[in-house]
Structure 1
Amino acid sequence: MNRITRAHLLLWLLTIITGFNYTIAKMVMPVYLPASTIIWIRMSITTLFFSMFILLAKRSFYIEKQDYLRLFFCGLFGVTLNQIFFYEGLSRTAPINASLMMAAIPVTVFILSAIFLKDKITWVRITGLVISASGAVMLLLHSKGTFTGLFIGDILVILNAISYGIFLVIARRLIMKYDSATIVFWIFLIGTILSFPYSFTHFTVPEWRMIPMQAWLALGFIIVFATILNYYLSLDVLKDVSPSISSIYVYIQPIIAAAVAIYFSSDALDMQKFMSSIAILAGVYMVSK
C-alpha cells in the first residue's frame, strides 16, 4: 500500500471517529461533566500519554528554536481555542448543527492557502464560498429563532472550525520536519498551559459516583479515539497530503453525524437543517475545486 492510499484510508477512519464524536460527547456533556472538565481531562491525559510514548519509544522531544513561535501558535489554535470553542459549542448546540458548522474548516484552509500559499483563486471557488456562507447563515438564523443557546453554540463551533483550519495550514511545515508524536506532545503541553485560566475559572468537581457507565465509556472514546488517535493521525497524514485535501473529508462528517444522532435519538433532521446542509456542502465542494 502506498502512502497516499494509506493517508486517504486514515482520513476515512478519522472522519468516522469525528462523526461519532458529536453524539458520543453529548452522552456525557453537559449532563454529567461540563465542557471545561472534559477539556481539562483530555488535555492532561493526552499530554501525559505522548510524553510517556516518546520516552518509551525513544523518540525525540527536540524542536529547533526557529520553530518555537510556529509551535506556540499550533498549540493556541490547534488545541486551546479549538478545544474550548468545540466543546463549549457542542454542549450548547445539536450534533447535526455542529457537524455542519465544521464545513468552515475547508473554507478557512482555502482562504489561508490563497493568501499564504498562493493557491489559485477562481470565480467558482468564490461562488462556492458565498453559497456555503449562505447555508451557515440560514442555519444560524434558524437556531437564533428557536433557542438562544443553540445559536451561541453554532457560533462557537464555527470559531472552532476556523481555529482548526488555521492550525492545519500552519502545522504542515512542522509535521514535515518532526515526528508526529513530538508535535502532538508539544502542542498539547502548550495548549494545556494556555487553557489553564479557562480551566481554573470554569472547573467544577463533578459527582463522580453519579456518572453512569455509559458516560464513562463516552469519556473514554473522547480521550482515546477523538483526541489521542485523532490528533496523531491527523498530523501524520499531513506528511502525505495537503491541508486542502485533508480538510475535504469534512464533507462526510455531517452525513455520519446525522446518521448516528438520529439512530441514538439525540437529534433530528428537519427541512431547515436539510436545506442548510445542501447549501453548505455544495458551496464547500465548489471551494475545493
Structure 2
Amino acid sequence: MNSRGFAIFAVFMVQLLYGLNYTIAKGVMNENYIKPFGFVLLRVAGATILFWLMSLFLPKQKVDKKDYFKFFIAAIFGVVINMLFFFKGLEYTSPIHASSIMIIVPIIILVLSSIMLKEKVTNLKILGVILGVIGALILTIYGKSARPGDNVPLGNLLILLNAISYSIYVILIKKLTAKYHPFTFIKWLFLFGLIILIPFGYNELDAVEWQSFKPYTTFSVLFVIIGATFGTYLFNPIALNKLKASTVGIFIYLQPVIAGLFALAMGVDFIDAVKIIAMLVIFLGVYLVSKKSKKST
C-alpha cells in the first residue's frame, strides 16, 4: 500500500474507531461499571502510558521551556474539558445525537478562527454556520433517546460544549503541531491532561468493582483506551501528514453514519424523521463551511 493509500486507511480508521466508541463507551457507563469521570481518567492514564512507551523507540526532540505552558493549556481544552464533557454528555444522550453534534466541529472552528485569528468568513460559510446550529437545535429540542433514563437536552448541551472545547484546542495547537513531531506533542499533552484529571476522576475510578466485569466489559474498556484514544491519536497525524486538511475533513461525515449503524445494530438507538432531518441540515451546514471559495486569494 502506498503512503497516500495508507493515509486514507488511517483517516478511515479514525472515523471507524470514533464511530464505534459512542455505543461501546456509553454501554460501560450506563451499566454502571465505571462512571464517566472515572472512565476518562482510566482512558487518559492508559493512553498516556502507551504514548510514553512508544516514544522510547522514536527520535528524541527537545522542547522549549516556554512551550510547556502551551502544552498545559492545550491539555485543559484538548484532554480535560473535552473528554469530561464528552463522556458525561454521552451518558445522557444517544450515540446518534452525540455523533451528529460532534461533526459541527468544523463550523465551530470557523467561528472561533474568525474571532481569534481574524480570518475572513464568506456569506456561504455564514449560511453553513446557521444551518449547523439549526440542525443541532432540532436534535436537542425534538430528539428522543431509546434509553428511558437519558436526559437528551443536557447530554446534547454537554456534547456541544465538548465540541467547542475541542475546537479551541485545535486553534491553540496550530503552531505547536508545526513545530514539534506529533508524538512529542501528544505524549506531553496527555501527561499534563492526566495530572489535571486525577482530582476529577480519582474517586469514581477508585469505586470501580473490577471483579464484576464481564468479558465484553473488559473488551469495551480496552477498546476505548487502545482503539478510540491511542489508535485515533496515532492515525490522525499520519493522515494529516499525507493528505490535505480538506480531504481529512470530508471523512468526518462517516462518523455519524458508522455510529448510527452500529448503535442500530446493537439495539441501543433508533432512527426517526427528526434525527434524519437534523443530520441532513448539519451535513449541509458542514459542507458549506468546508467548501472552498472559487476565487483565488
Moved more, 109-118 or 191-200: 109-118
Conservation of the 8 A alpha-carbon contact between 1:134 and 1:279 = yes
| Aligned residue in 2 for 1:33 | 34
Q: Select 1:217's aligned residue among 209, 216, 219.
A: 219
Report how far residue 59 of structure 1 moved.
Answer: 3.2
- The separation in 1 between residues aligned to 2:255 and 2:107, in whole angstroms, is 15
* Per-residue CA distance 1:222-281 (angstroms, 9 max, x = gap): 011100111122244344556665444322211111111101111001111111111111
Residue 186 (structure 2) pairs with residue 181 (structure 1): no
Moved more, 210-219 or 116-125: 116-125
Question: SS of the residue aligned with 1:60?
Answer: coil
Question: SS of the residue aligned with 1:267?
Answer: coil
- The separation in 1 between residues aligned to 2:129 and 2:28, in whole angstroms, is 35
Question: SS of the residue aligned with 2:179?
Answer: coil
| Aligned residue in 2 for 1:133 | 133
* Per-residue CA distance 1:157-193 (angstroms, 9 max, x = gap): 1111111122222223222222222211111111111
Conservation of the 8 A alpha-carbon contact between 2:91 and 2:150 = no
Q: Select 1:207's aligned residue among 206, 209, 212.
A: 209
- The separation in 2 between residues aligned to 1:119 and 1:280, in whole angstroms, is 22
- The separation in 1 between residues aligned to 2:140 and 2:111, in whole angstroms, is 22
- The separation in 2 between residues aligned to 1:92 and 1:207, in whole angstroms, is 22
| Aligned residue in 1 for 2:22 | 22
- The separation in 2 between residues aligned to 1:239 and 1:104, in whole angstroms, is 23
Conservation of the 8 A alpha-carbon contact between 1:172 and 1:238 = no
Residue 89 (structure 2) pairs with residue 82 (structure 1): no
Matched to 2:80, the amino acid is T
Conservation of the 8 A alpha-carbon contact between 1:102 and 1:250 = no
Report how far residue 37 of structure 1 moved.
Answer: 1.8
| Aligned residue in 2 for 1:287 | 289
Conservation of the 8 A alpha-carbon contact between 1:172 and 1:239 = no
Report how far residue 118 of structure 1 moved.
Answer: 5.1
Q: How many residues of Structure 1 are paired with residues of Structure 2 in the alignment?
A: 288
TM-score, normalised to structure 1, is 0.90
Report how far residue 65 of structure 1 moved.
Answer: 2.1
| Aligned residue in 1 for 2:199 | 197
Moved more, 235-244 or 104-113: 235-244
Report how far residue 108 of structure 1 moved.
Answer: 1.6
| Aligned residue in 2 for 1:263 | 265
Moved more, 32-41 or 80-89: 32-41
Conservation of the 8 A alpha-carbon contact between 1:130 and 1:283 = yes
Conservation of the 8 A alpha-carbon contact between 1:175 and 1:238 = no
TM-score, normalised to structure 2, is 0.88
Distance 1:3 1:276, change over 3 A: same
- The separation in 2 between residues aligned to 1:179 and 1:259, in whole angstroms, is 35
- The separation in 1 between residues aligned to 2:242 and 2:65, in whole angstroms, is 25
Question: SS of the residue aligned with 2:62?
Answer: coil
| Aligned residue in 1 for 2:73 | 73
- The separation in 1 between residues aligned to 2:70 and 2:166, in whole angstroms, is 14
| Aligned residue in 2 for 1:52 | 53
| Aligned residue in 2 for 1:156 | 158
- The separation in 1 between residues aligned to 2:285 and 2:240, in whole angstroms, is 24
Matched to 1:127, the amino acid is L
- The separation in 2 between residues aligned to 1:2 and 1:76, in whole angstroms, is 37
The sequence identity of aligned pairs, in percent, is 33
- The separation in 2 between residues aligned to 1:137 and 1:20, in whole angstroms, is 24
* Per-residue CA distance 1:73-120 (angstroms, 9 max, x = gap): 221111111110111111111100000110231112222333455544
Residue 275 (structure 2) pairs with residue 276 (structure 1): no
Distance 1:205 1:147, change over 3 A: closer
- The separation in 1 between residues aligned to 2:58 and 2:280, in whole angstroms, is 48
Distance 1:107 1:167, change over 3 A: same
Q: Select 1:252's aligned residue among 247, 251, 254.
A: 254
- The separation in 2 between residues aligned to 1:52 and 1:79, in whole angstroms, is 19
Distance 1:246 1:74, change over 3 A: farther
- The separation in 1 between residues aligned to 2:175 and 2:126, in whole angstroms, is 27
Question: SS of the residue aligned with 2:201?
Answer: helix
